Amino acid sequence: MPTKFDDSFRQHSSITSAYNQISNNLKSNPLAEGEQLNLGGYSYGSVLQAQVALKLADEGTVVDNLVLIGSPISDDSSLYKQLSGNENIKNIIRVDIEGDLLSNSSFLEYMGGAAQVLFMGDDAPHFDLARPGAEADAAIQKAVQYIIDNGVKN
């Protein structure tokens, strides 16, 4: 059984809603032999999916891959330690965005990332995988290949 942590912070309605949708889907449509349960999110979505992954894993559901893209969750954070320490979360794949101070950041870097977004707006590095255009498309394809190379079956 995985180590239980205080999950009172996981009681937010968006976390509960995402958890209920995924949990109900898994009950209605169980994974076939060899299929993976992969969860992923970009930016705040990665934090939300990390909380959902912990909730599922704490209840015994195996999460094959948790993909954190442009995630503010630091490798040194309590949340990341809970994720990586949970035996039911098999693999965490980080896609940190080059130059993005919000990705995998300390508190000071995070504040710098907030300034990047404030002053640069949509041109901030944090959005490099979210804007339209050939440059972003190429970066997205590179990220997708990285994710596949690190465990997600395509």
Q: pTM for this one?
A: 0.89
State percent of the chain over pLDDT 90: 84
Whether the predicted pLDDT of 1 surpasses 60 = no
Residue 56 has pLDDT above 50, yes or no: yes
| DSSP-H helix ranges across 9-75 | 13-28, 44-58
Is residue 2 pLDDT above 60, yes or no? no
Q: Measured between alpha carbons, how far is 146 from 47 in angstroms, rounded to an integer?
A: 20
For 20, 126, 145, the CA distances from 81, given in Å and listed in that order, are 24, 23, 26
Confidence of residue 132 (pLDDT cuts 50, 70, 90): confident
CA dist 51 and 49 (Å) reads: 5
Residue pair 95/67 in contact (Cβ under 8 Å)? The answer is: yes
- pLDDT per position as a tens digit, 11-43: 678 999 999 999 999 999 999 999 999 999 999
Domain parsing of the chain, residue ranges = 8-149
pLDDT tens-digit map of 108-126: 888 999 999 999 999 999 9
